[in-house]
Amino acid sequence: MQTNDLERVAKGIRRRDLRAVFEAGAGHIGGEMSAIDILTALYFRVLNVMPDDPGNPGRDRFVLSKGHTACALYVTLAKRGFIPEEEISTFLKPHSRLNGHPNCQKVPGVETNTGPLGHGLPVAVGMAKAAKLGGASWRTYVMTGDGEMQEGSNWEAIMAAAQFGLDNLTLIIDHNRFQQGAALADTNNLAPLRPKLEAFGWEVTEINGNDMSEIVPALEHRGDRPHCVVAHTNKGHGISFMQDRVDWHHKVPNAEQYKTAMEELAEEME
């Protein structure tokens, strides 16, 4: 897909994600809205995946380490054909396989269970190392939150990736500047992230993570070292009253807010 098509798909995913969270009465909509553009670019342009054969050994792997934004992944997987689109209506309902965190035992296209922060990147490093050991050409991508990068396990994984020369690994940091309950700057501020990753031997690209014209080339970059994309995004992107508001980390819109948000997202699609 080209940039305009990707933007159109991302806007549709935002609307469906908003509806799913509203109907479920729970979710993590702020971080979902910040990540959807990147998820769209991955699944509709960058990743070599097969919805009709999700376990194909030659597929690229994607790990959503910030697993609390699972609803955005489910909607993206549904749009890409991994699961029925009508199944999104079961999000968080009893007996649904669409839980609050992704489960690889239940949902086609999910590569590993995530939720406890700081686990996804170490798993992704193991995946990329396995590809190297097996002489395979598939690539591994992993998305973390910026608050999640406060976890020490991530920095151990970053050291290991550089040591192993994992040029088949791309880390995407959703740098929306907010975590649960506070701004990153008021907790354990890791910014600026770029020099820290470079000090560990990684190649780093900084982008506007809500701009497809910057997202696509960054994700398609191929180098000779592990690659980190520091994606500067907006929490609640696309919805005026949610954007850059920490309380929308896991707040659910009421009926009036839902109507306003859907109208704003509809205007974006015109």
- Where are the chain's structural domains? 3-269
Kindly tell me if the per-residue pLDDT of 106 is higher than 90: yes
Kindly tell me if the per-residue pLDDT of 53 is higher than 90: yes
Residue 128: both structure tokens together: 């990329």
Mean pLDDT on 111-119: 95
Kindly tell me if the per-residue pLDDT of 270 is higher than 60: no
Which runs of E-coded beta strand occur in the chain?
Answer: 61-64, 140-145, 169-175, 178-179, 182-183, 203-208, 227-232
Mean pLDDT on 198-227: 98
Task: Report residue 219's pLDDT band, with 50, 70 and 90 as the boundaries.
Answer: very high
Please give the Cα distance from 126 to 143 (Å, whole number). Answer: 15
CB-neighbour burial class of residue 115 (10 A; exposed 0-12, middle 13-18, buried 19+): middle
Share of the chain above pLDDT 90, in %: 96
Least trusted range by pLDDT, from 24-38, 61-75, 101-115, 255-269: 255-269
Kindly tell me if the per-residue pLDDT of 221 is higher than 90: yes
CB atoms within 10 A of CB 224: 8
| pLDDT for 267 | 75
Kindly tell me if the per-residue pLDDT of 269 is higher than 90: no
Please give the Cα distance from 268 to 110 (Å, whole number). Answer: 29
CATH number of 3-269: 3.40.50.970
Which runs of E-coded beta strand occur in 225-270?
Answer: 227-232
Mean pLDDT on 141-151: 97
Pairing of strands 178-179, 203-208: unpaired
By the 8 A CB rule, do 121 and 142 touch?
yes
CB burial string 179-204: b at 16+ within 10 A, e below? beeeebeeeeeeeebeebbeebebbb
